[in-house]
Amino acid sequence: MSRFKGKVAVVTGAGSGIGEETAARLAGEGAKVILVGRTSSKLENTAERIKSSLKGADTAVFSADVTKEDEMEELKKFIQQKYGTIHVLVNNAGVSGKSTILNLEAEEWDRIQATNLKSVFLVSKILGKLMIDSSQDVDEETFSDRSIVNVASLSGHKAGAQIPHYSSSKAAVINFTKALAAEFAPYGIRVNSVSPGFTETPLTESGLQNKRFEDAVKRNTALGRVGNPDEIANVIAFAASEEASYMTGSDLLVDGGWLVK
């Protein structure tokens, strides 16, 4: 498949896990991918991985913090100068933490909200403006479908134990996605979210090293196993592609059947 041939895509949090797989998937289907994250060595590794499996792949590394407005404005300028436009944005960067509400420091609450929620607002606003402005200068046929995919979570549907800040931020991402979808629809930009269940990535690595925790996750998942990042990337790529051309304001739950159990 080459659903993204000639398209320019931005993936935040592309240095590991779901973001890395998504970047590789989009590049594999023809996209020029801009890899965003704070740690440039991780982004370089993703770029190397893509280039070693795909001759002629066009990837760019942009090291930045998605919670910082000035850095996202710099990202916009970089894209404008190098590519002129953007067709796909995957807001994937995210962090988690573990605490009860009674023990949760306000500073930690703010860190989680800033990374998981405020960043989705900031990046969508700044790069969404570029999508809208640049679509008026280009050939309609080539650039008819543009889309944003926000990575939410199963925890945005069902609050998990000791992740009140994380669950709240992800529920808000699902809701923000709907508001953004309504606002951007007149510009031909679709906006959807994907909500992964337990997926094996650096984010869940320490939890899954605990055998009892891993067994509990498997027990609570209808499919009886933890997910792989490429299984989430497949769904993100679908939502981002023209195959989902009549879908906007939706959340795609990819939880291995956690909620039906």
Is residue 256 close enough to count as binding ligand NAP by CB under 6 A?
no
Is residue 18 close enough to count as binding ligand NAP by CB under 6 A?
yes
Number of residues that bind ligand NAP (CB under 6 A): 29
Could you tell me how many residues make up the chain?
261
- Which position among 59, 92, 124, 241 is part of the footprint of ligand NAP (CB under 6 A)? 92
The region of 32-40, 76-84, 127-135, 138-146 touching ligand NAP under the rule CB under 6 A is 32-40
CB of 111 vs ligand NAP, minimal distance in Å:
9
The region of 54-62, 93-101, 184-192, 216-224 touching ligand NAP under the rule CB under 6 A is 93-101
CB of 248 vs ligand NAP, minimal distance in Å:
20
CB of 91 vs ligand NAP, minimal distance in Å:
8
Q: Closest Cα partner for 109 from 163, 174, 64, 67?
A: 163
Is residue 94 close enough to count as binding ligand NAP by CB under 6 A?
yes
Structure tokens, 105: 């420091």
Q: Closest Cα partner for 83 from 33, 158, 126, 11?
A: 33
Is residue 147 close enough to count as binding ligand NAP by CB under 6 A?
no
Is residue 67 close enough to count as binding ligand NAP by CB under 6 A?
yes
Is residue 12 close enough to count as binding ligand NAP by CB under 6 A?
yes
Cβ–Cβ < 8 Å for 154, 259: yes
Instruction: Identify the active-site residue in 83, 166, 187, 246.
Output: 166
SS (H, E, C) 94-113: CCCCCCCCCCCCHHHHHHHH
Beta-carbon count within 10 A of 253 CB: 22
Q: Which is nearer to ligand NAP, 184 or 198 (CB)?
A: 198
Structure tokens, 11: 């993936």
CB of 140 vs ligand NAP, minimal distance in Å:
33
Q: Assess whether 246 carries a catalytic annotation.
A: no
CB of 254 vs ligand NAP, minimal distance in Å:
9
- Which position among 199, 221, 241, 248 is part of the footprint of ligand NAP (CB under 6 A)? 199
Interacting residues with ligand NAP (CB under 6 A): 12-13, 15-19, 37-39, 42, 65-67, 92-95, 115, 151, 153-154, 196, 198-199, 201-204
